[in-house]
Chains A and B, each alone.
Chain A
Amino acid sequence: MIVQAFALTLRLAVVVSLILLLVSLPLAYWLAFSRWKGKFLAEAAVSLPIVLPPTVLGFYVLVALGPLSPIGRWYQSLTGHGLAFTFTGLVIGSVIYSLPFSVQPMTSAFGSVDRTLMDASAILGASKWRTFWQIVLPLSFPGVLTGFVLSFAHTLGEFGVVLMIGGNIPGATQTVSILIYDQVQTLNYQVANETAGLLLAACIVLLTALYALRRRHGWSVWNWP
């Protein structure tokens, strides 16, 4: 039971953080460098999941994915079953929920790259694409890594959204935090304690590794006067 929940949670976190990496890189680039006047609207929208109660977010995602919405109907006609209470539905909800944790560190990292370096790259004949991969990304790597790890860790520990969208189906949608809740509800404190302890340890290891890495990185890359 614990192993199954951990495997599912890990799979969810990996899939979600990888999707978020792909989504966040262009989104953060746009947020950092676009001169569009209405950019603040997008910034507010991206930050929304931070302040919104997970249950509210989960509720709307559930409705949006359900058979009454165009997305839900389109998915149902494609696959023959709905999105709610499935792993795919969980992934979609988690991507939205963890989006700010991935986008914000990346945006601020991109924004702090010295613009004259990007100018210099363009003057030397590099396209925006090449400038991104060779100048912007390497110089903002710690921020990108932070975004990736935070979205991973945040997905590991999420509860409200999962409960609303996924319910509590072992093997399909029962993540570690749901399992803990479930065990506590049935007064099975022993299992709850073991599971919670494991999750806590995993998060501590992850964050310690991240900050240690950043620190070492800080000394090897950022020695520019």
Chain B
Amino acid sequence: MELAVSEVQPGIGQSMLSVRIVKRVAGSARQGFELRADFDALPGTTILFGASGAGKTTILHCIAGLQPPDEGSIRIGDTALFDSALNINTPPNRRHIGYLLQTLALFPHMSVEQNVRYGLASVEPAERERRVSEILESFRIAALGERRPGEISGGERQRVALARALVTRPRALLLDEPLTALDAATKARIVDDLRAWNERFRIPILHVTHDRDEVFALGERMIVLENGHVVSQGLPHDVLHRPELESVAQLAGFENVFDCYVVELHPEQGTMTCRITGSPVELEVPLTRVAAGRELRVGMRAGDIMVATAPPQGLSARNVIAGEILSLEQRDVMVVARVDCGAVFEVDLTPGAVRSLGLAAGARVWLVIKTYSCRVLQ
């Protein structure tokens, strides 16, 4: 997308999206579920992260006005979109918020161009046509103008939906896992489009995603939601590198997460020994403020584990665990080994390493794990 500096709208970048809401979700399956969202989204991209059922979509629906919160307020800058105390509940069609629904919700009976033009009914015709052709151009969908959504590819549909939301110049943008179904190359291009658009308009963007590449590529800030509550927020780098929360741990790529209990504390060394529940495997992990016997979870990345074909010696790493390779599986350019040590570990290897070590299913190996590669999760 081309950047026209002169077109940056003054003033638009100063409005912040403030969400302070309580919503009780009725219904038999989730009786008593209460969503408490309390956060500010500054202009720029804020990642909203949480396991499914954590309440992300409900928050977006409340902001867009599709569902009313029970209490609280939602503001953009000085404008209240919802305020239970003041009895304000602006209907969705007057909130001027862009929302890319998970299903995209392109109108199937309209052409691409009609879809994009739909939100500009109140814009005067010359300006409307200018904006439509500009956005079709910048999202590289101008050639699709006459086609119906059913006749274009998934990536193209995604771009059309994004263009349709952005062409209205919304005051805030909500994205509900917009890129999950796309291949890596298409995703990367849309991420670039989004980033360029964000630099140009600087509005609050709330982006729901599970994908760590998206988090790092787009996220300026990050909010972690669990059971309807904000449990962590900050810079994506900080949130992801302090993965005490299990939901974050999975996002941060902890392929190995084990239930353990604390066997012994070594405060003088800053470590403690934990045993993986139901196995003889003991791990030395960084010390946390817990008592012996306490149950906790330990996570480690598959890429942080080394494999040796003989018992290694003279290593600084404190955890050396003997095991047997169960299977080797090629994934992209990597080989994922599953190793049974009493508990099953997942280990990433390069194809070169597999070849030079002559690894195969059934081979006896030793896993080497540094103490600080083990993360204690809450």
Query: What is the chain B residue whose CB lies nearest that of A225?
Result: B150
Q: Which of A114, A121, A122 has the most CB of B within 10 A?
A: A122
Given A116-B103, A224-B108: A125 touches B64 (CB 8 Å cut-off): no
Which of A114, A130, A139 contacts B121, CB < 8 Å? A130
Q: Which of A116, A120, A127, A130 has the most CB of B within 10 A?
A: A120
Question: CA A94 – CA B99 in complex, angstroms?
Answer: 46
B84 to chain A, nearest CB (A): 20
A120 contacts B101, C-beta separation under 8 Å: yes
Which of B103, B151, B164 contacts A124, CB < 8 Å? B164
SS of A interface (majority)? helix
B93 contacts A120, C-beta separation under 8 Å: no
Question: CA A122 – CA B121 in complex, angstroms?
Answer: 12
A126 contacts B108, C-beta separation under 8 Å: no
A195-223 interface bits toward B, Cβ cutoff 8 Å, 1 = contact, 0 = none: 00000000000000000000000000111
Query: What is the chain A residue whose CB lies nearest that of B99?
Result: A123
A123 contacts B149, C-beta separation under 8 Å: no
Question: CA A221 – CA B107 in complex, angstroms?
Answer: 11
A125 contacts B119, C-beta separation under 8 Å: yes
A139 contacts B108, C-beta separation under 8 Å: yes
B156-167 interface bits toward A, Cβ cutoff 8 Å, 1 = contact, 0 = none: 000000001100
Question: CA A225 – CA B149 in complex, angstroms?
Answer: 9
Question: CA A134 – CA B105 in complex, angstroms?
Answer: 14
Q: Does B94 contact A (CB under 8 A)?
A: yes
Q: Does A2 contact B (CB under 8 A)?
A: no
Interface size for A (C-beta < 8 A) is: 22
Q: Give A113-137 interface residues, CB cut-off 8 Å to B.
A: 114, 116-117, 119-127, 130, 134-135
Query: What is the chain A residue whose CB lies nearest that of B151?
Result: A223
Q: Does A170 contact B (CB under 8 A)?
A: no
A117 contacts B93, C-beta separation under 8 Å: no
Question: CA A139 – CA B64 in complex, angstroms?
Answer: 24
Q: Does B139 contact A (CB under 8 A)?
A: no
Which bucket holds chain B's interface residue count?
A: 20 to 34
Question: CA A221 – CA B111 in complex, angstroms?
Answer: 11
Question: CA A139 – CA B148 in complex, angstroms?
Answer: 14
A135 contacts B98, C-beta separation under 8 Å: no
Question: CA A135 – CA B107 in complex, angstroms?
Answer: 7
Query: What is the chain B residue whose CB lies nearest that of A128?
Result: B93
CB within 8 Å: A-B pair count: 70
Question: CA A177 – CA B119 in complex, angstroms?
Answer: 52
A26 contacts which chain B residues (CB < 8 A)?
none
B109 contacts A127, C-beta separation under 8 Å: no
Q: Does A53 contact B (CB under 8 A)?
A: no
A123 contacts which chain B residues (CB < 8 A)?
64-66, 92-93, 95, 97-99, 165
B65 contacts which chain A residues (CB < 8 A)?
122-123
Query: What is the chain A residue whose CB lies nearest that of B95?
Result: A123
Q: Does A70 contact B (CB under 8 A)?
A: no
A117 contacts which chain B residues (CB < 8 A)?
105, 107-108
A119 contacts B109, C-beta separation under 8 Å: no
Q: Does B91 contact A (CB under 8 A)?
A: yes
B168 contacts A124, C-beta separation under 8 Å: yes
Given A116-B101, A130-B121: A125 touches B108 (CB 8 Å cut-off): no
A119 contacts B105, C-beta separation under 8 Å: yes
B121 contacts A119, C-beta separation under 8 Å: no
Q: Does B118 contact A (CB under 8 A)?
A: yes
Question: CA A126 – CA B120 in complex, angstroms?
Answer: 9
B103 contacts which chain A residues (CB < 8 A)?
114, 116
A129 to chain B, nearest CB (A): 10
Q: Give B82-120 interface residues, CB cut-off 8 Å to A.
A: 91-99, 101, 103, 105-109, 118-119
B105 contacts A114, C-beta separation under 8 Å: yes
Question: CA A170 – CA B318 in complex, angstroms?
Answer: 106
What are 26 sample pairs from A and B whose C-beta atoms fall under 8 A apart? A114-B105, A116-B101, A116-B105, A119-B101, A121-B107, A122-B65, A122-B66, A122-B91, A122-B93, A123-B99, A123-B165, A124-B165, A125-B93, A125-B121, A125-B122, A126-B118, A126-B119, A126-B121, A127-B93, A130-B121, A134-B118, A223-B108, A223-B151, A224-B108, A224-B149, A224-B150
Question: A-B pairs with the 4 shortest C-beta distances?
Answer: A124-B119, A120-B105, A224-B108, A122-B92
Given contacts A122-B93, A223-B148, 11 further A-B contacts (CB under 8 A): A116-B105, A117-B108, A120-B105, A123-B98, A124-B93, A125-B119, A125-B121, A126-B118, A135-B107, A223-B151, A224-B149
